[in-house]
């Protein structure tokens, strides 16, 4: 499992992909950071990093499908899936190795953004409770989207198709959150409660306000676990069909 994890991780960092995506992520974060500073009208700089993370996520969803599109579709398109599935590794270990490799790149991107709160800490004051919760919420939200992108990569045989489907799904998730704020949904309390329960945006808002709720943590972890199980089932079915 460790060997496969290293192999996938090297495929990211020994190519320009990880660095280009990280640079794009940092650029978007920087633009959001500077725009919030520019909008401050008084001499006292007061803004929330949670808002920066929230706005940044709308752009980050375009990066996630590119990050996950090759996880399984690349193996099938390159003809290496047969060797992978015939290896002594179990499907669970294969999926987890690829999942941890993508998550390592994601964590690398998030670590780059630590420069900004450190800079604020040197020149001002940082609300650590809100900052830590914002990082945690962003990480959990991104984890669910990454596993969703990996599932689409496991279901398709071409990386580009996996990326396009991933973009559609990510946009659909954001549309669901926007749809939840309409008067139509508000007119039906049960529908509003259902959408609110599955809405990752609403759950992130609690993290952004510095509120750590156990039910939100359980939701994100459960959604990630369910998606990973679906990936394992999908790969296991393909492995079984190959004999």
**C-alpha dist (Å) from residue 101 to 12, 119, 182, 214:** 9, 29, 38, 27
As a whole number of angstroms, the distance between CA 231 and CA 99 comes to 10
Residue of 157, 156, 184 whose CA lies nearest to 169: 156
CB atoms within 10 A of CB 165: 19
Where do runs of H (alpha helix) occur along 61-158?
64-68, 73-78, 81-85, 91-112, 115-123, 128-155
Helix, coil or strand: residue 88: coil
Q: Residue 134, class by beta-carbon neighbours within 10 Å (0-12 exposed, 13-18 middle, 19+ buried)?
A: buried
Q: What pTM was computed for the model?
A: 0.85
Q: How many Cβ atoms from other residues are within 10 Å of residue 178's Cβ?
A: 9
Q: What are phi and psi of 124, to 5 degrees?
A: -160, -145
Tokens of residue 132, six digits? 């830590």
- Taking the chain (243 residues) in runs of 10, the rounded mean pLDDT of each run is 85 85 83 67 53 70 85 79 79 91 91 81 74 85 90 86 86 75 72 72 76 85 93 85 62
Q: Which of 239, 229, 240 is nearest to 83 (CA)?
A: 239
**Rounded to 5°, angle at Cα 167 from 166 and 170:** 85
What pLDDT was estimated at residue 44? 45
Give the pair of three-digit tokens for residue 154.
């496991």
Contact 140, 217 (CB under 8 A): yes
């Amino acid at each position: 499992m460790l060997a496969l994890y290293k192999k996938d991780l090297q495929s990211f960092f020994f190519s320009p992909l990880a660095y280009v995506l990280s640079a794009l992520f940092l650029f978007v974060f920087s633009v959001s950071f500077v725009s919030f500073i520019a909008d401050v009208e008084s001499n006292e700089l007061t803004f929330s990093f949670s808002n920066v993370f929230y706005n940044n996520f709308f752009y980050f969803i375009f990066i996630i499908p590119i990050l996950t599109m090759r996880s399984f579709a690349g193996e099938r398109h390159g003809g290496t899936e047969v060797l992978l599935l015939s290896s002594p590794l179990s499907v669970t270990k294969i999926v987890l190795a690829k999942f941890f490799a993508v998550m390592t790149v994601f964590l690398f991107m998030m670590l780059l953004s630590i420069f900004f709160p450190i800079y604020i800490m040197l020149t001002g004051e940082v609300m650590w409770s809100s900052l830590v919760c914002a990082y945690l919420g962003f990480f959990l939200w991104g984890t669910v989207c990454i596993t969703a992108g990996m599932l689409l990569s496991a279901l398709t045989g071409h990386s580009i198709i996996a990326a396009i489907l991933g973009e559609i799904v990510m946009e659909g998730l954001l549309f669901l959150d926007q749809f939840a704020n309409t008067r139509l949904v508000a007119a039906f309390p049960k529908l509003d409660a259902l959408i609110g329960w599955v809405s990752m945006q609403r759950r992130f808002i609690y993290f952004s306000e510095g509120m750590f709720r156990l039910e939100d943590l359980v939701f994100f972890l459960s959604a990630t676990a369910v998606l990973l199980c679906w990936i394992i089932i999908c790969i296991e079915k393909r492995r079984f069909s190959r004999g």
